[in-house]
Chain A
Amino acid sequence: MAKNKSGAHYRATVGDVTFNVINIAVFSIFTLLCIFPFYYLFINTISNNELVGANMITLIPRGIHFSNYIALKDVQDFGNSVLVTVSRTLLNTALMVLASAFAGYLTTKREMWNRSFWYRALVITMYFNAGTIPWYLNMLGLGLTDNYWGYIIPGIVAPYNIILVKTYIESIPASLEESATIDGASAMKVFTKIILPLSKPILATIAIFGAVGNWNSLQDSLILMSNSPQLYTMQHRLWVYLNSSSNLANAMQSGGAASAGMLNNKVIKYTISMVTVIPIMLVYPFMQRYFEEGMMLGAVKG
């Protein structure tokens, strides 16, 4: 649409130029507002720690070093939270994708006994929930509080993702599956040999959303793991550090290299924040297409 405007149909007038300048300026400012805080955090983690502690780093990094990122390994409990978050992201996402693919495929099979009833029973769970406290009591009853598996098992069945996969598989030509069935392949074989390879795009999409959700998980850690600090997720740990007034730097053995200056609370907090941000920042530009496609799939689902 914008292409139509730029010259083909009419010449650029003064009004057009003014519009473009203002329009681009407004978007530039908003974009800058979105990205600048992360730049600011980052330069404070790589600048000389003494200067950061004295609030001297505003726009330009000074005395660049990366030793703070290495020093994080000595911050109490942080390593645990990284381990918890990384492992739950991998494990829960893998299981969720597998279960969604399998369930999505099975729900396309009209032959299944009372298929539409079971499918509806599954889908309806998206529209109600019992509430935080009954959910917590249920998890308590199942022994999944203060238990690592409390992060993994509840997220395996994701009705919304099952719908997305089902819709996608229904768009695959049925002839492919039929010919395999005639050749005597079982439902499981059709699933692994035909359906899984063909539905890679949709599986990538739900995997990415699942992974981001796991990476950012805070609420389940807050509710379920209140007595197990060693099981806090990174976001939970970060929030605890941000609120703590105790001196994190004192709890660490080493004070960092002399040239980088002594570690201090501010630097540690900023560095931990960056560690949770950087993986998403690095992955996002490459995966943006999948994110956007996923969003559109949700919109047309109906």
Chain B
Amino acid sequence: MTSTKTKAAVKTPGSKLYILHRVAILLACAAIFYPGFNPGRITTAINRNVSLFTASISYSSLVSQLERALMRGWVQKSTFILIMGASIVLILGIVLSAVGGCMSVGNRRMRRYGLYFPLAGSVVMAGGLVGLFMAYTQIVAANNDRVPANVPGGFWLYAVLAAVTLVSTLVLLALDRKSQAALEPKMAMQETYHLFLLFLPILALAFVFSYLPLWGWRYAFFDYKAGGDLTMENFVGFKWFTYLFQSEATRNDIFRVIKNTLALSGISIITSWLPMIFAVFLTQVPSRKFRRVVQTFTTVPNFLGWAIIYAVALAIFSTDGFINNFLNNILGLNANNNYLMSNSHMWLKMWLWGTWKGLGWSAIIYISSITGIDPVLYEAATVDGAGRFQQMWNVTIPQLMPTFFVMLLMSIANVLSNGMEQYLVFSNAINAQSIEVLDLYVYNLGIVNGQIPMSTMVGMCKSIISVILLFTANTASKKLSGESII
């Protein structure tokens, strides 16, 4: 939010101070959502995953680990209501300051009136902090070992931020009073900053949900157990990485999983020409209506979730499914097979399900490419005496090659990412070993078994390799066809 670049801002008195002022407010806003900076965690008995924001909107989250303590009367309920109230007040103060921070990029009149907001805001923030301190004294007074008092780092952070905001606001107000510059008749803001402020919420969301998770990679380097803390004592460096390959059990697991991943991706890469052939042959059908019907029905499965596809699989292939019904009722046999409870040809079967679901949809891009091919090419080929298949091979396919090439590179770049849903829904006690892919392995390891550091390490390696693959594929594409795929 620095404004040193534009001429107008350079003339502003105290423009450097404005930067400090805005940075303090921005930090206060960001820390609201981060549990590590929750100033209200005045006892370590409060869930460590509760942020200031959560504490202010959800009382049940705030006391989620304190049911017993409240029931036994070790601490008073009123203490926690006070924490929640103080959190709300604190956030109110931060919001007021944020409004002022936004107004500080306006013209002089807007900046002047904007300063009253952080002035009020920092006072309100101080009020919230006092409330938290009162709750802290209550916890200290309760003096119970199971609810130990704690002065969280976030408390000092907010105390400092509120002080910086207050002092900078007072100094800026004083400078503003002294300044001789003319005051504009109306409040206004330069368009460039106005647009940026409008865009800021989008950026904030992208930051929180796409960049912030990267900070979670640090778990891969700690000996972390759910509910524990990350301290320098349990920092283990690359232990999990070497453990992955040193311990025989995990080494076997990871090699098996990588084998499954590469095999399943490999089969789809090898057969990635199928949608193209599907499109080439479908466009040979003379009836437009027939083509339309085929397209509609073959693309529908692509829009159904994997749970439904699994329901279909059960309905057709299980013991009481269609195949057995058909054999018994129509052909008069006595069949009783559960085709899903089998571990044979699992890679091929998974590929078949994927193809059944996605073939029609993947062909669409080729179908519309074919409709765009210049008819003159076919006329010329006909004059040269080319038959149907020669036209397909010598005219249609070469025209589709650029599209095919891009698709192929994309699937090579995604070789490690088969997704987990398909393999999760289809896995059972018998076939689980053959279809556990990397994404599913990470899910099973981290979410199901709670081995956070190890699964984070595996996921981190996967992400890094995937990005490298993507950029390699992109460079290859640029070199070979001059087109970028990303």
B393 within 8 A of A: no
A252 CB within 8 Å of chain B: no
Bound CA–CA A234/B308 (angstroms): 10
Which of B203, B371, B378 contacts A122 (CB under 8 A)? B203
A129 lies within 8 A of chain B by Cβ: yes
- Determine the distance from Cα of A137 to Cα of B459 in the docked complex, in whole angstroms: 13
Closest 4 CB pairs of A and B: A131-B459, A134-B216, A216-B305, A143-B54
Interface residue A23 (Cβ < 8 Å from any Cβ of B): yes
Residues on A with C-beta less than 8 A from B439 are: 132
Any chain A CB within 8 A of the CB of B375?
A: yes
Q: Say if the beta carbon of A218 comes within 8 Å of chain B.
A: yes
**A4 at interface by CB-CB < 8 Å:** yes
B388 contacts A132, CB within 8 Å?
A: no
* One of A10, A40, A56, A188 near B316 (C-beta < 8 A): A40
Give the CA-CA distance A222 to B207 in the complex, in Å.
Answer: 24
Pair A23/B191 contact, Cβ less than 8 Å:
no
In contact, B365 and A296 (Cβ under 8 angstroms):
yes
- Knowing that A2-B286, A134-B219, A218-B307 are A-B contacts, what are 17 other residue pairs whose CB atoms are under 8 Å apart, sorted by A's residue number? A15-B388, A27-B281, A37-B312, A55-B329, A102-B198, A103-B199, A106-B198, A127-B486, A133-B446, A142-B53, A216-B304, A218-B425, A226-B447, A236-B307, A269-B311, A273-B308, A291-B299
For B192, B304, B462, B484, the residue with the greatest tally of chain A CB atoms inside 10 Å of its CB is B304
The proximity string for A residues 255-276 relative to B, scoring 1 for CB distances below 8 Å and 0 otherwise, is: 0000000000010011001001
- The chain B residue sitting closest to A240, CB to CB, is B307
Task: Say whether A299 contacts B403, CB under 8 Å.
Answer: yes
B174 CB–A CB distance under 8 Å: no
Alpha-carbon separation in the docked complex, A102 to B197 (Å) = 13
Residues of A within 8 Å of B54, CB to CB, are 142-143
21 interchain pairs, CB-CB under 8 A: A19-B284, A30-B294, A37-B312, A40-B322, A106-B199, A109-B195, A111-B191, A121-B203, A133-B219, A138-B212, A138-B213, A142-B53, A218-B421, A222-B447, A242-B311, A276-B305, A284-B303, A288-B299, A295-B361, A295-B365, A299-B365
B241 on the interface (CB 8 Å rule)?
no
Residues of A within 8 A of B206 (CB): 121-122, 125, 157, 159
Residues of chain A contacted by B420 (CB below 8 angstroms): 132, 219
Q: How far, in Å, is B174 (CB) from chain A's closest CB?
A: 28
CB distance from B18 to the nearest CB of A (A): 15
A113 to B6, CA, bound (A): 10
CB distance A2 to B284 under 8 Å? yes
Q: How many angstroms between the C-alpha atoms of A24 and B307 in the bound complex? A: 31
- Most chain-A Cβ atoms within 10 A of its Cβ — which of B195, B320, B388, B484? B195
Query: Could you tell me which B residues sit within 8 Å of A by CB distance?
Result: 33-36, 49-51, 53-54, 58, 61, 191-196, 198-199, 202-203, 205-206, 208-217, 219, 281-286, 290, 293-301, 303-308, 310-312, 314-316, 320, 322, 324-326, 328-330, 356, 359-361, 364-365, 368, 370-371, 373, 375, 378-379, 382, 388, 396, 403, 420-421, 424-425, 439, 442-443, 446-447, 452, 455-456, 459-460, 462-463, 466-467, 470, 483-484, 486
**Residue among B58, B215, B217, B311 making CB contact with A238, cutoff 8 Å:** B311
Chain B: which residue is nearest A296 at the CB level? B368
B463: which of A3, A10, A128, A159 is its contact (CB, 8 Å)?
A128
Nearest opposing residue in chain A for B314, CB measure: A242
A57 to B315, CA, bound (A): 12
Taken residue by residue from 10 to 29, chain A's Cβ proximity to chain B (1 for < 8 Å, 0 otherwise) reads as 10000110011001101110
How many interface residues does chain A have, given as a range?
A: 35 or more
Is A223's beta carbon under 8 Å from chain B?
yes
Q: Which of B36, B219, B425 counts the most A-chain CB atoms under 10 A from its CB?
A: B425
Could you say which residues of chain B place their CB within 8 Å of the CB of A1?
A: 283, 370-371, 373, 375, 378, 396
Interface membership of chain A positions 283-302, coded 1 if the CB is closer than 8 angstroms to chain B and 0 otherwise:
01100100110011001001
- In the complex formed, the residue of B with least CB distance to A295 is B364
Chain B residues contacting A154 (CB-CB under 8 Å) are 209
With A9-B382, A44-B315 known as contacts, the answer to whether A131 contacts B283 (CB < 8 A) is no
Kindly state the separation between the CA atoms of A5 and B389 in the bound complex, as whole angstroms.
12
Chain A, interface SS category: helix
Task: Decide yes or no whether A212 CB sits under 8 A from chain B.
Answer: yes
CB within 8 A of A239: which of B193, B294, B425, B459? Answer: B425
Structural contact, A132 and B202, CB atoms closer than 8 A: no
Taking a contact as CB atoms under 8 Å apart, the answer to whether A239 and B307 are in contact is yes
> How many Å lie between the Cα of A140 and that of B226 in the bound state?
11
Q: Which residue of B has the minimal Cβ distance to A7? A: B286
Interface pair A122/B202, CB less than 8 Å apart: yes
Q: Are B195 and A111 in contact (CB under 8 A)?
A: yes
Within the assembled complex, what's the spacing in Å between the Cα atoms of A284 and B33? 40
B53 lies within 8 A of A143 (CB) = yes
Say yes or no for A114: interface residue by CB 8 A criterion.
Answer: yes
Q: Tell whether, in the assembled complex, residue A132 and residue B470 are in contact, meaning their CB atoms are under 8 Å apart.
A: no
Tell me if A212 and B217 are in contact (CB < 8 A). no
Residues from chain A with a CB closer than 8 A to the CB of B214 are 130, 134
* Residue A156 at the chain B interface, CB threshold 8 Å: yes
Least CB distance, A44 to chain B, in whole angstroms? 7
Contacts of A299 in B (CB 8 A): 365, 403
